[in-house]
Amino acid sequence: MGAGSAAEPSAARPAHLARRYVACALVLLLFTAAMVVMERSGLRRTWIASAFLLMPVVLYASIGLACRTNEAAQYFVAGRNVPAIYNGMAIGADWMSVASFMGLAGLLYANGFGGLAYVLGWTGGFCLIAFFIAPYLRKFGQYTIPDFLGERYGGRLPRAVGLLVTAGCSLMYVVAQIYGIGLITSRLTGFGFEMGIFVGLGGVLVCSFVGGMRAITWTQVAQYLILMIAFLVPVVWLSIKQTGNPVPQIALGQQLKKVSERERELREDPREREVIAAFRAESEAYADRLHDVERSLGDERARLQRRLDVASAQGSSIAEPRAARRAVQELPKDAATAREVWSRARDIDRERAQPLAGMPPQADLFREGAPGGNERQGPQRSRLDFLALMFCLMAGTAGMPHILARFYTTPTVAAARRSVTWALFFIALLYVCAPILAVLVKYEVLTSVVGTSFAELPRWILEWSKSEPSLVSVVDINHDGVLQLGELHITSDILVLAAPEIGGLPFAVSCLVAAGGLAAALSTADGLLLTIANALSHDLYFNIVHRGPPTDRQVAVSKVILLFVALVAAYIALQRPAGILLLVTPVFSIAAATIFPALVLGVVWKRANRWGASAGMLAGFAATLYYLLTRQAGIAAAADAAAAALWFGIQAESAGVFGVPVAFAANVLVSLLTPPRAEDGPWVDALRQP
Partner 1 sequence: MSDPADDPQANDSHWRAMRRVAMGLTLVWALLTFAPPFFARQLAFEIAGAPAIVWIAAQFGPFAYVVLAWLYERRASRLEQQRGDRAG
**Positions in the binding site for partner 1 (CB under 8 A):** 1, 113, 116-117, 119-120, 123-124, 126-128, 130-132, 135, 139-140, 249-250, 252-257, 363, 365-366, 383, 386-387, 390-391, 394, 413-414, 417-418, 420-421, 424-425, 427-428, 431-432, 435-436, 604, 682-683, 685-690
The identity of residue 277, as a single letter, is: A
Phi, psi dihedrals of residue 482, rounded to the nearest 5°: -125, 140
Residues 6+ apart with CB under 8 A from 33: none
Helices (H), 605-677: 610-631, 638-643, 656-673
- Residues with Cβ within 8 Å of 488's Cβ and at least 6 positions away in sequence, in order, are 357, 445, 449, 450, 461, 473, 474
Which residue lies nearer to partner 1 by CB, 489 or 610?
610
In the complex with partner 1, which residue's Cβ is closer, 496 or 514?
Answer: 496
Which CB, 105 or 210, lies closer to partner 1?
A: 105
Using an 8 Å Cβ cutoff, are 218 and 505 in contact?
A: no
CB closer to partner 1 out of 299 and 685 = 685
315: Cβ contacts below 8 Å, ≥ 6 apart: 321
Whether residue 83 contacts residue 77, with contact meaning beta carbons closer than 8 Å, is answered with no
Say which DSSP state 490 is in. Answer: E
The distance of closest approach from Cβ of residue 413 to partner 1 in the complex, given in angstroms and rounded to an integer, is 8
Cβ at position 132, least distance to partner 1 in Å:
6
CB of 120 to partner 1, least distance (A): 5
Of 105 and 530, nearer to partner 1 (C-beta) is 105
Nearer to partner 1, 186 or 397 (CB): 397
Q: 608: which residues sit within 8 A by CB, 6+ positions away?
A: 153, 601, 602, 667, 668, 671, 680
Q: Which residues of 9-26 are buried (b: 16+ CB within 10 A; e: fewer)?
A: ebbeeeeebeeebeeeee
Q: How many CB atoms lie within 10 A of CB 217?
A: 29
Selection from 606, 661, 516, 558 nearest residue 152 by Cα: 606
Minimal distance, residue 531 CB to partner 1, in Å:
23
Compare residues 123 and 465 and give the one whose CB is closer to partner 1: 123
Nearest to 162 by CA among 555, 613, 627, 508: 613
Contact 162, 602 (CB under 8 A): no
Report in angstroms how near the CB of residue 75 gets to partner 1 at its nearest.
Answer: 23
For residue 513, which amino acid is it?
A: V
Q: How far apart are the first and last CA of the chain?
A: 12
Residue 453 falls in which region: left (phi positive, over 0), alpha (psi -120 to 50) or beta? beta
Please identify, using beta-carbon distances, which residue of 64 and 121 lies nearer to partner 1: 121
When the beta carbons of 423 and 662 are compared against partner 1, the nearer one is 423
Task: With beta carbons less than 8 A apart as the criterion, state whether 230 and 223 touch.
Answer: no
| Minimum CB distance to partner 1, residue 297 (Å) | 49
Q: Which is nearer to partner 1, 254 or 632 (CB)?
A: 254
Give the residue with the Cβ less far from partner 1, 183 or 603. 603
Please identify, using beta-carbon distances, which residue of 281 and 604 lies nearer to partner 1.
604
Nearest-angstrom CA–CA distance, 346 and 331: 15
Residue 424 or 570: the one with the smaller Cβ distance to partner 1 is 424
| Other C-beta atoms lying within 10 Å of the C-beta of residue 257 | 12
Nearest distance from residue 250's CB to partner 1, in Å? 8
Minimum Å distance from CB 365 to partner 1? 5
Q: Kindly state the smallest distance separating residue 379's Cβ from partner 1, in Å.
A: 17
Whole-number minimum distance, CB 332 to partner 1, in Å? Answer: 45
Q: Spell out a b/e string for 427-460, using b for 16 or more CB atoms within 10 Å of the CB, else e.
A: beebbebbbbbbbbbbbbbbeebbeeeeeeeeeb
Find the shortest distance in angstroms from Cβ 395 to partner 1.
Answer: 11
Q: Who's near 142: CB < 8 A, 6+ residues apart?
A: 2, 148, 151, 408
Shortest distance, CB of residue 4 to partner 1, whole angstroms? Answer: 12
We find the least distance from the C-beta atom of residue 209 to partner 1, in angstroms, to be 33
